[in-house]
Amino acid sequence: MLPVEEALERVLALVAPLPAETMPLREGAGRVMTAPATAGLTQPPFSGSAMDGYWLDTADHKPSAKLQVVGESAAGRSYQGEVTQGQAIRIFTGAPVPREGGVVVLQENTTRAGDWVTLADSLSGNDNIRPKGQDFAKGAPFHPDRPLNARDLGLLAAMNVAQLEVHRKPVVAIIATGDELVMPGETPGPDQIVSSNSFIVAAQVEAMGGIARMLPIARDDRESLRMVFDLAKGADLIVTSGGASVGDHDLVGEVAAELGLERSFWKIAMRPGKPLMAGRMGEAVLLGLPGNPVSATVCAELFLKPMLAKMQGRDPQITPRRAVLGCDLGPTGPRTHYMRACLSATDGLPVIMPFDNQDSAILSILAQADALLICERDSGPYKQGTEMCYLPLM
């Protein structure tokens, strides 16, 4: 069985960042740019006041000076006349100054009487002016190597950038397999259960910025599997759940091989989720998840999410966090165990407590968990208070 770390290397080697597409700035949150954007203007485009007050010539910036107010400048409505020594204009925050070589005196440091303003006995040395181009100059590049956030979009908007070149969203075809499955809302037969894996995977794909295509359930026969695989054409990534083990009815790997699958590996030294399959299938990559919902979820967290990250130009590396174990645990055995657990906040590291029942088919415990406690293979036992690694569940 393949170690988790090597399996992750192999699945990441199967995918590459997707080509660029052009999109409106409004839709850029969470996307990764493939080329720099350049500022279409200088910001600010003029030297402007940083405060409400009075603009005056630097030579008149003296304690107790008395100046004639000859006009005003407001944001979007600048003063167009001349201002000479001995004169001042009323100016508001964001308004252009009439010319270089002046200062803005805060209104609280002045006294106004009609058309005359008198400066205070004590004045600040600040000019309270934001110089032209203080933020950025026309032609300045912007190209972060991470997903764009709200602040990035604000900067790009200020740069007068309306369109972005970003990595295309990966299209993911999701296939649940098994005669025992029916869709939510249907009435299961006496030997059937309601399908849940596809809904978990689709939500994970969309949370990672991908486009989820949930396909019909494939039955446990070659004709049904071929039909559903045919519906998956055009996807960048095909994710199956179930049918990837070694039973007589586990046909996904066989049919996929008949359709051209070049399998990279099968079976991983982890629990839950040993029967994981991956490989290249035509122009797409196939990731075969286990059928048990917890196993499918854990494998998607460990392998599908990093694959989607890389395809969108993001950092695919998973960085575990640290917590203090809240109980004693026995030895792990030959497979790394990802245990569903809950976190409790403390003044220091959080305390992590695994659930007693780790059955890979129990969704109610998965829904309560907010972390996967990582117990490395061939390690332990662990004592309460031991620092451990975990992965957060969002």
State yes or no: pLDDT of 205 exceeds 90: yes
pLDDT, mean of residues 1-28: 96
State yes or no: pLDDT of 270 exceeds 70: yes
State yes or no: pLDDT of 130 exceeds 60: yes
pLDDT, mean of residues 122-138: 96
pLDDT, mean of residues 95-103: 96
State yes or no: pLDDT of 99 exceeds 70: yes
Question: Which position has the higher pLDDT, 345 or 274?
Answer: 345
Q: What is the pLDDT of residues 280-309, one digit of tens each?
A: 999 999 999 999 999 999 999 999 999 999
pLDDT recorded at residue 313: 95
pLDDT recorded at residue 40: 97
pLDDT, mean of residues 352-379: 95
pLDDT recorded at residue 248: 47
Where b means 16+ CB within 10 Å and e means fewer, 9-38 reads: eebbebbebbebeeeebeebeebbbbeebe
Where b means 16+ CB within 10 Å and e means fewer, 134-149 reads: eebeeebebeeeebbe
Torsion of CA 208, 214, 220, 225, to 10 degrees: -100
State yes or no: pLDDT of 246 exceeds 70: no
Give Cα separations from 35 to 81, 141, 166, 349, 387 (angstroms): 44, 10, 8, 40, 42
pLDDT recorded at residue 394: 83
pLDDT, mean of residues 111-134: 96
pLDDT, mean of residues 149-178: 97
State yes or no: pLDDT of 245 exceeds 80: no
Round to whole Å and give the CA distance between 239 and 208: 15
Q: By the 8 A CB rule, do 371 and 343 touch?
A: yes
Single out the residue of 212, 164, 139, 201 nearest to residue 30, CA to CA. 164
- DSSP letter at 207 equals H
Q: What is the pLDDT of residues 215-225, one digit of tens each?
A: 999 999 999 99
The reported pTM is 0.86
Round to whole Å and give the CA distance between 156 and 33: 12
pLDDT recorded at residue 284: 97
What is the per-residue DSSP string for 240-307? EES--SSSTT--HHHHHHHTTEEEEEE-BSEES----EEEEETTEEEEEE-SSHHHHHHHIIIIIHHH
Give Cα separations from 226 to 165, 175, 220, 260 (angstroms): 36, 12, 11, 12
Percentage of the chain surpassing pLDDT 90? 94
Mean residue pLDDT of the chain comes to 95
